[in-house]
Amino acid sequence: MSEENKYFEKLEAEKKARLAKDLRETREREALAARKRLHWLKCGKCGADMNTVVFRGVEIEVCPDCGAVLLDQGELELLAGKDQSGVFQHLRDIFKH
């Protein structure tokens, strides 16, 4: 095989690898968007639609069916105040992605 053919085969392989990577990333983004649409503002316990309410000046989500509460990042600290014991930091470390 000539050097020229090897060169073009290498370019073609790199192009295919880039296209495969782009396709993988696109599928991952689409899957994430679909998962978000499916679960957006749904209760994690019973699946009901969550209601947004203001509690102590913070918008939180509350399930009208089972009473579960959903707090966004930082809302627990806003409602409970500064953590003196380190419990919140420990919980945050456990659930960090």
DSSP code string of 19-37: HHHHHHHHHHHHHHHHHHH
On whether both 35 and 66 belong to a single domain, the answer is no
Q: Is the dihedral of CA 47, 36, 97, 53 positive or negative?
A: negative
Residue appearing with tokens 């509690």: 55
On whether both 36 and 58 belong to a single domain, the answer is no
Instruction: Summarize pLDDT for 35-79 with one digit per residue, the tens.
Output: 888 888 899 899 899 999 999 889 999 999 999 999 998 888 888
- Output 44 or 21, whichever has higher pLDDT: 21
Say yes or no to pLDDT of 88 above 70: no
pTM above 0.85, yes or no: no
On whether both 81 and 61 belong to a single domain, the answer is yes
Supply φ then ψ for residue 59, to 5 degrees.
-75, 120
Give one word for 90, left, alpha or beta, with left for phi > 0 and alpha for psi -120 to 50: alpha
Please give the pLDDT value at position 35: 86
Q: How many structural domains does the chain have?
A: 2
pLDDT above 70 covers a percentage of the chain that reads 92
Please give the pLDDT value at position 84: 62
On whether both 59 and 32 belong to a single domain, the answer is no
Domain interval for residue 22:
1-40
92 C-beta neighbours (distance < 10 Å), count: 14
